[in-house]
Amino acid sequence: MRVYACSNCQNPLYFENSVCLNCRHPVGFDAAALTMVALEPNSEYKYCKNSEYGVCNWLLPSASESEYCIACALNRVIPALSTDSNKGRWKNLEIAKHRLIYSLLRLHLPFQVEYQGKPESLGFDFMADLPSGPHILTGHDNGMITINIAEADEVERARNKLDLGERYRTLLGHFRHESGHFYWDVLVRDQPPIEKFRRLFGDERRDYSTALADYYTNGAPADWDQRFVSPYATSHPWEDWAETWAHYLHMMDTLETAWSFGIRIDPVELEDTTGIRASIVKEPYAISDCDRLIKRWLPLCFAVNSLNRSMGHADFYPFVLSGPVIGKLGFIHELCQTGMRS
């Protein structure tokens, strides 16, 4: 994500702002131009209908027949808005979802594909457990991403994180992970990259439910960090792909932010700065060689982890990327680059 400026007064804006705090102009995100704009009277834009609920600041052409922006049009089920806590949860979900959609637009990834004559579309169900109903599992099915809205509650999410022994658990991470399952269908399934996929991630024809049951019984092998980005990635090649996909989106989006702020990492007191220096002077989406991205990403993580520790926060990126994981990220980058060129 970039740092944006108000098109009226040049005050810097966050991606989520709907008013410029300097000139008080209403502002919003133009998803076609991927930029923030200030709205003038009689502007050629209108806000997405979800702006009425304070959960969206994206814009559409005022002539558009749709009431919803390209990100909100993908919602199929939203939380019941009868309680303030659900309204808060929905807002948290939308903040994360809009950042996911930004990344997908940035990578020119489609939201719909045809598979065996049938359309498969990206979409979202934000659902709650009901007292007598089944437990809602966060997951993906043919493009539809279901998120249990309890995950949008900070206390619930922290409890799940502890119970599962995870180092990182965020809504944005969930969205990125689940979108990976859809983009596996789009980029890999029944296509030539499947061979390379199987060499890197393993054979996905292995029975999925048995593999998951095994994982929940036995956990990850002790040496998981030699080949996988997370313990959960060991459960099945599809989950390995989705976990790695999420990390790819983490890296690209964060590098874009660092590039946009002109961040350079050049430790002053170290004689040998090999491997911990980085000038992020080129936007990451324009870099075709994944190793060059990694060479910037690792020093950035080290620096920002150190900043976080200075503030008493947990590490910003609590992961170590092994050689095989870097190979998997490179494969994903290759596939996305092909998409960006076409």
Give the footprint of Zn ion on this chain (CB under 5 A).
Answer: 6, 8-9, 11, 20, 22-23, 48, 50, 56, 58, 69, 72, 239, 242
Tokens of 162: 């502890």
Q: How far is residue 23's CA from residue 37's CA, in Å, rounded to a whole number?
A: 13
In three-state secondary structure terms, 328 is helix
Torsion of CA 148, 153, 155, 159, to 10 degrees: 20
The secondary structure element, H or E, covering residue 27 is strand 27-30
* CB nearer to Zn ion: pick between 50 and 146: 50
CB of 303 to Zn ion, least distance (A): 30
Smallest gap from residue 77 Cβ to Zn ion (A): 15
Q: How far is the CB of 124 from Zn ion (least distance, A)?
A: 12
Could you tell me the CA-to-CA distances from 162 to 158, 224, 309, 315 in Å, in that order? 6, 19, 20, 16
Q: How far is the CB of 330 from Zn ion (least distance, A)?
A: 21
Would you say how long the chain is, in residues?
A: 342
- Rounded to 5 degrees, φ, ψ at 77 are -130, 130
- Of 23 and 32, which CB lies nearer to Zn ion in the complex structure? 23
Of 177 and 227, the one with the shorter C-beta distance to Zn ion is: 177
In this complex, which beta carbon is closest to Zn ion, that of residue 232 or of residue 285? Answer: 232
What is the spatial distance between Cα 42 and Cα 49, in angstroms, rounded to a whole number? 18
User: What residue spans of the chain are helical by DSSP H?
Assistant: 84-106, 154-163, 171-187, 193-201, 208-218, 237-260, 290-310, 323-341
Distance of CA 298 to the CA centre of its chain: 19
Q: How far is the CB of 242 from Zn ion (least distance, A)?
A: 4
User: To the nearest whole angstrom, how small is the minimum distance from the Cβ of residue 13 to Zn ion?
Assistant: 8
Q: Looking at residue 113, what DSSP letter applies?
A: E
Distance CA 92, CA 316 (A): 19
Q: How far is the CB of 239 from Zn ion (least distance, A)?
A: 5
Take residue 328 and report the two structure tokens written for it.
Answer: 């998997």
Task: Report the residue number, 208 or 316, with the smaller CB distance to Zn ion.
Answer: 208
Q: Name which of 57 and 280 has its Cβ closer to Zn ion.
A: 57
> Rounded to the nearest whole angstrom, what is the least distance from the CB of residue 300 to Zn ion in the complex?
26
CA torsion angle 315 318 323 328 (round to 10): -120
The two tokens of residue 6 are 């108000």
* Min dist. Cβ of residue 238 to Zn ion (A): 7
Q: Please identify, using beta-carbon distances, which residue of 20 and 287 lies nearer to Zn ion.
A: 20
> In this complex, which beta carbon is closest to Zn ion, that of residue 58 or of residue 248?
58
In angstroms, the CA 183 to CA 109 distance is 8
Which neighbouring-strand residues pair with 147? Answer: 126
Of the pair 52, 223, the CB lying nearest Zn ion is at 52
Residue of 60, 86, 88 whose CA lies nearest to 72: 60
